């Protein structure tokens, strides 16, 4: 559920109050590494205590098909020195780094200011050239915190948890290496199971409704709606269409395929799903806390990033031939 909380201005200047600030950055991008060092120096000059970490800690990778998945508890991904005493953290990277960073800081309840050093930057709040001014604004407490729903995903094998992760965008189940028909049994809450035959399925949050599920034909869902959506990928039936349901409902997905499937979470974490395994999803108790510099305007982001709702140019009524 979307929850926007204003943060009161309790500073007369950035230098007057010591804060604990974190920086998470994409260490693959030289610009992010350089800005991290410069930002750390600037924050320390303001009297802040600064902790840094790379986004690598949230990239759980993919288990090998011939080896068991490695169980890493959700809470264990919080970086060293990142705790509930931290006022906020800054993430430097693109959308992938933002997704990874929330997997790291959400259990500690740390708000994130997302600074775009990537391409699309759909989840980011500001750009590098605006960072000096934005930094002073945030240190002065002039911002809001917007809560976004996350999903806790768990692979259950022989009635024991074998793998788990937090998800902000979507969970995808499909077969590899080649796309082919899969059969899924999906149970949502107390409702009867449904069978889906498709190349795969996507279970998406409202935040993820503008990502993979949108490309697969799913609707855009505004962040303030407490729902999840189930989108079949290339279904083998005209009756198999997307489904929107309350986020409070627990979801259990079982595979009827003799071969393993691949589960991918937010595009940067995942594992293999063997026959007999169950994938369990439920709304996480840890929301993603986005720092917003002004009131969130979702439709504006849709227009700027995806071109949604732009006015059409009228065609001429007549054409003059040379």
Domain edges within the chain: 20-149+287-306, 151-283
More confident residue, 138 or 4: 138
Q: Is 95 annotated as a binding residue?
A: yes
Q: Average model confidence (pLDDT) for the chain?
A: 88
Q: Residue 79: its pLDDT value, please?
A: 95
Q: Is 66 annotated as a binding residue?
A: no
Q: Is 147 annotated as a binding residue?
A: no
Whether the per-residue pLDDT at 7 is higher than 70: the answer is: no
Q: Sort strands 88-93 and 20-25 into parallel, antiparallel or unpaired.
A: parallel
| Average pLDDT over every residue of 127-139 | 92
Q: Is 211 annotated as a binding residue?
A: yes
| Average pLDDT over every residue of 229-239 | 91
Query: Cα separations (Å) of 288 from 81, 110, 172?
Result: 19, 8, 20
Whether the per-residue pLDDT at 1 is higher than 80: the answer is: no
Q: Residue 2: its pLDDT value, please?
A: 38
User: Which range, of 8-12, 104-108, 147-151, 201-205, averages the lowest pLDDT?
Assistant: 8-12
Q: Is 129 annotated as a binding residue?
A: no
* Residues whose CB falls within 8 Å of the CB of residue 12, separated by 6 or more in sequence, listed in order: none
Q: Which helix (H) or strand (E) is 105 found in, with range?
A: helix 95-105
Catalogue the active-site residues.
95
| Average pLDDT over every residue of 118-125 | 83
Q: Is 93 annotated as a binding residue?
A: no
Domains 20-149+287-306 and 151-283 share a fold: no
What is residue 37's DSSP assignment? H
CATH number of 151-283: 2.60.200.30
Query: Cα separations (Å) of 53 from 20, 31, 69, 142, 222?
Result: 14, 15, 25, 25, 31
At residue 300, the 3 state secondary structure works out as helix
Whether the per-residue pLDDT at 193 is higher than 50: the answer is: yes
| Average pLDDT over every residue of 292-310 | 84
Q: Are 35 and 117 in contact (CB under 8 A)?
A: yes
Give the confidence band of 320 by pLDDT, cuts at 50, 70, 90.
Answer: low
Radius of gyration of the chain (CA): 21
Whether the per-residue pLDDT at 279 is higher than 90: the answer is: yes
Q: Residue 179: its pLDDT value, please?
A: 67
Q: What is the pLDDT of residues 15-70, one digit of tens each?
A: 455 799 999 999 988 999 999 999 999 999 999 999 999 998 888 776 666 666 78
Pick the CATH number of 20-149+287-306 from 3.40.50.10330, 1.10.760.10, 3.50.50.60, 2.30.140.10: 3.40.50.10330
More confident residue, 308 or 189: 189
Give the confidence band of 313 by pLDDT, cuts at 50, 70, 90.
Answer: low
Distance CA 24, CA 94 (A): 12
């Amino acid at each position: 559920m979307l929850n926007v909380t204003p943060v009161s201005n309790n500073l007369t200047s950035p230098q007057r109050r010591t804060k604990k600030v974190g920086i998470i950055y994409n260490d693959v991008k030289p610009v992010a590494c350089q800005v991290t060092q410069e930002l750390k120096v600037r924050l320390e000059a303001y009297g802040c205590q600064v902790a840094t970490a790379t986004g690598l800690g949230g990239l759980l990778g993919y288990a090998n098909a011939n080896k068991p998945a490695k169980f890493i508890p959700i809470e264990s991904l919080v970086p060293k020195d990142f705790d509930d005493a931290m006022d906020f953290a800054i993430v430097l990277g693109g959308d992938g780094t933002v997704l990874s960073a929330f997997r790291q800081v959400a259990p500690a309840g740390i708000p994130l200011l997302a600074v775009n050093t990537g391409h699309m930057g759909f989840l980011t709040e500001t750009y590098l050239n605006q960072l000096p001014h934005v930094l002073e604004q945030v240190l002065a407490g002039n911002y809001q915190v917007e809560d976004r729903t996350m999903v806790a995903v768990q692979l259950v094998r022989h009635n024991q948890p074998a793998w788990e992760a937090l998800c902000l965008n979507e969970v995808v189940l499909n077969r590899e290496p080649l796309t082919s028909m899969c059969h899924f049994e999906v149970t949502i809450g107390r409702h009867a199971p449904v069978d889906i035959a498709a190349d795969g399925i996507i279970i998406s949050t409202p935040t993820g409704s503008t990502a993979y599920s949108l490309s697969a034909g799913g609707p855009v869902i505004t962040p303030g709606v407490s729902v999840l959506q189930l989108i079949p990928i290339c279904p083998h039936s005209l009756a198999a269409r997307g489904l929107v349901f309350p986020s409070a409902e627990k979801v259990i997905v079982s595979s009827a395929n003799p071969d393993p499937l691949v589960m991918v979470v937010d595009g940067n974490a995942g594992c293999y799903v063997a026959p007999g395994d169950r994938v369990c999803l439920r709304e996480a108790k840890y929301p993603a806390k986005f720092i917003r510099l002004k009131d969130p305007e979702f439709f504006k982001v849709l227009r700027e990033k995806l071109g949604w709702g732009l006015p059409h140019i009228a065609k001429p009524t007549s054409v003059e031939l040379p």
